């Protein structure tokens, strides 16, 4: 039996239906804007979030970084949570590409609130950096899949607007928040100046993210994408895969949420691990271990279950649509029968 891979929701493989959609997609040279599949898909997703335009890009990192590049000047400051992907996992590219400094704040499970954002805005003294952008991540990755309440997103947006700041959403997993019925895409989308969404996480496309914004911002962003080497040619093949994922896999995200919640209960009841947060809000589950996480991961591996370390004593499990009922039962059974052995 193949291993149960819960390391990430990025590990899914294209399905036969997705591959068929890819081979049937009409394509053209997207650098010349000749690819009908890309053009239609950009328009569709932009419309879904109430934005004027979209730009299909290879990855979530590129999408976030193009957004920051469009919004800032070198030396500007970007406020974000200390757990943000942009701060932790984008190889320092905000400094390299945009020349900005990041101002990480300690939030709750990767989420900021309006008061702390307001308190972090710099004055206009000559010696202060210019605070230019507030960037939030929803759902949070390192924060364990937490979902921002709409009210908090609105309140941070109000602070941003009152203080002349741009507001960016790293929505790599916004789909999981939408699937959990927390709000509609347009309700979130219209709050932000720039949005990045990914099709290659829980939705299960092999590649692809999209930046969403006003037309004028996207026009300049196309140039930035080219500068970064992200101009692609007959990329309608990938847009078709992403579109297929949106059409056919979005409805499956609810099951990922259910399973993450269920496994959290099983893990809590086992008594050997501590689920990090009392509420599981999407497809990501973090739990603490007594033994070093790597030891527990090795035990899991030998039972054919893969998860990842998210700290020396923390493990992350992420659900996706290619986990079967049998896989899920196997994981639950492993925790139900877990014998921790002597205390480390
Ligand atoms: C919240 C968040 N933003 C951005 C990214 C970057 O996406 P990519 O791996 O496509 O560059 C990820 C990747 O996991 C992520 O979790």
Domains of the chain: 4-9+252-336 (3.90.1150.10), 16-248 (3.40.640.10)
Q: Which residues contact 55 (CB under 8 A, 6 or more apart)?
A: 42, 63, 66, 210, 211, 212, 218, 221, 222, 225
For residues 214, 204, 139, 228, the Cα torsion angle rounded to the nearest 10 degrees is -50
Residue environment code for 167-179, b if the CB has 16+ CB neighbours within 10 A, otherwise e = bbbbbbbbbbbbb
Question: Which among 83, 111, 140, 141 is the best mutation to test ligand 1's pocket, defined by most ligand atoms within 8 Å of the CB?
Answer: 141
pLDDT given at position 279: 81
d(C-alpha 285, C-alpha 275), whole Å: 8
Q: Look at residue 340 in the predicted model and tell me its pLDDT.
A: 80
Counting from 1 in the atom list of ligand 1, the atom nearest the Cα of 140 is 1
pLDDT at position 152, please?
Answer: 98
Cβ(85) – ligand 1 distance below 6 Å = yes
Residue that the structure tokens 């196997």 belong to: 330
Average pLDDT, the chain: 96
Identify the pLDDT of residue 247.
98
Count H helices and E strands in the chain, helices first: 14, 13
Q: Which pLDDT belongs to residue 182?
A: 79
Give pLDDT, residue 342. Answer: 65
Furthest C-alpha separation in the chain = 64
According to DSSP, residue 207 is labeled S
CA distance 313 to 259: 22
Q: Which of 10, 85, 135 to mutate to test the pocket of ligand 1 (most atoms within 8 A of CB)?
A: 85
CA pair distance 289, 267, nearest whole angstrom: 11
pLDDT of residue 181: 80
Q: Is 61 in the pocket of ligand 1 (CB under 6 A)?
A: yes
Q: Which atom of ligand 1 is nearest to the CA of 58?
A: 10
Does ligand 1 lie within 6 Å of residue 146's CB atom? no
Q: For every one of its 344 residues, what pLDDT tens digit does the chain have, with 9 covering 90 and above?
A: 689 999 999 999 999 999 999 999 999 999 999 999 999 999 999 999 999 999 999 999 999 999 999 999 999 999 999 999 999 999 999 999 999 999 999 999 999 999 999 999 999 999 999 999 999 999 999 999 999 999 999 999 999 999 999 999 999 999 999 998 879 999 999 999 999 999 999 999 999 999 999 999 999 999 999 999 999 999 999 999 999 999 999 999 999 999 999 999 999 999 899 998 778 999 999 999 999 999 999 999 999 999 999 999 999 999 999 999 999 999 999 999 998 876 65
Cβ of 65 closer than 6 Å to ligand 1, yes or no, is no
Cα–Cα distances (Å) from 33 to 42, 100, 232, in that order, read 11, 31, 10
**Contact assessment for residue 236 and residue 27, using Cβ atoms and an 8 Å cutoff:** yes
Give yes or no for residue 256 CB within 6 A of ligand 1.
no
Tokens 């100046």 belong to residue? 193
pLDDT value for 1: 67
CA of 85 to the centre of ligand 1 (A): 7
- Nearest ligand 1 atom to the CA of 10 is 14
> How many whole angstroms from 271 Cα to the centroid of ligand 1?
32
Distances (CA, A) of 42 to 55, 171, 197, 229, 239: 6, 16, 12, 19, 9
Ligand 1 pocket test, pick from 80, 89, 97, 197 with the greatest ligand atom count within 8 Å of Cβ, gives 89
Ligand 1 atom nearest residue 64's Cα: 4
């Amino acid at each position: 039996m193949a291993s149960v891979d819960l390391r990430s929701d990025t590990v899914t493989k294209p399905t036969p239906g997705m591959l068929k959609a890819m081979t049937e997609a009409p394509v053209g040279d997207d650098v010349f804007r000749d690819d009908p599949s890309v053009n239609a898909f950009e328009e569709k997703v932009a419309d879904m979030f109430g934005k004027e335009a979209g730009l299909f890009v290879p990855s979530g990192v590129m999408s976030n970084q193009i957004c920051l590049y469009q919004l800032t000047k070198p030396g500007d400051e970007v406020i974000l949570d200390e757990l943000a992907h942009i701060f932790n996992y984008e190889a320092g590219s905000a400094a390299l590409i945009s020349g900005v400094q990041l101002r990480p704040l300690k939030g709750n499970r990767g989420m900021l609130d309006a008061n702390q954002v307001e308190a972090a805005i710099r004055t206009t003294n000559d010696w202060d950096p210019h605070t230019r952008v507030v960037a939030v991540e929803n759902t949070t990755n390192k924060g364990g899949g937490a979902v921002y309440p709409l009210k908090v997103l609105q309140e941070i947006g109000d602070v941003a607007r009152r203080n002349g700041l741009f507001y960016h959403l790293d929505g790599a997993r916004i789909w999981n928040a939408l699937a959990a019925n927390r709000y509609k895409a347009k309700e979130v989308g219209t709050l932000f100046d720039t949005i990045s969404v990914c099709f290659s996480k829980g939705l299960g496309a092999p590649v692809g993210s999209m930046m969403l914004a006003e037309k004028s911002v996207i026009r300049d962003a196309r140039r930035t994408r080219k500068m970064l080497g992200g101009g692609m040619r007959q990329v309608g093949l990938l847009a078709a895969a992403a579109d297929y994922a949106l059409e056919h896999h979005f409805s499956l995200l609810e099951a990922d949420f259910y399973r993450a919640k269920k496994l959290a209960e099983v893990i809590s009841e086992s008594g050997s691990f501590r689920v990090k947060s009392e509420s599981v809000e999407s497809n990501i589950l973090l739990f603490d271990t007594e033994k070093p996480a790597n030891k527990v991961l090795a035990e899991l591996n030998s039972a054919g279950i893969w998860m990842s370390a998210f700290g020396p004593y923390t493990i992350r499990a992420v659900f996706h649509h290619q986990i079967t009922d049998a896989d899920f039962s196997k994981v639950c059974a492993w925790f139900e029968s877990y014998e921790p052995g002597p205390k480390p």
